[in-house]
Amino acid sequence: MAEADAPGASVSVVARRYDLNANMLFTWRRELAAVPTSDADAALTFVPAAISAPDLPLAEAACAAAGRMEIVLAEGHRIIAGSDVDAAALARVVRVLSRR
């Protein structure tokens, strides 16, 4: 997200670099812009993420294909969400867990 938001950056070029659909980046940007910000949110930042395709057992591969993502916060909390997760609700969960 940070790379796609950099001045002069092309969202489609960034998406191709990471083998993403450009529409997904545009959706993430729109959803992020819709989340209200406050002083408490100022501490939240994006972290680099590496996407890899390790050899997964069949059940895990099916979950990955279903569009699930796992977020591990610095405090050790894990969040597993589907591709249909409400971005605002997910942001609230991350904020609450980050304050603990």
Is this prediction's pTM over 0.75? no
d(CA 81, CA 83): 7
Q: Is 66 helix (H, G, I), strand (E, B) or coil?
A: coil
d(CA 35, CA 45): 14
Give the range of the structural domain holding residue 100, as residue numbers without chain letter: 46-100
d(CA 87, CA 34): 9
**78 touches 71 (CB < 8 A):** yes
pLDDT by 10s per residue, the chain, length 100: 778 888 898 988 888 887 888 888 888 888 777 777 665 455 556 666 666 655 555 555 555 556 777 788 877 788 888 878 888 888 888 888 887 6
22 with 52, same domain: the answer is: no
- Count of the separate structural domains present in the chain: 2
Tell me what pLDDT residue 2 has: 77
Tell me what pLDDT residue 75 has: 77
Tell me what pLDDT residue 40 has: 47
Residue 90, both tokens: 């997910």
Question: Does 41 map to a domain?
Answer: no
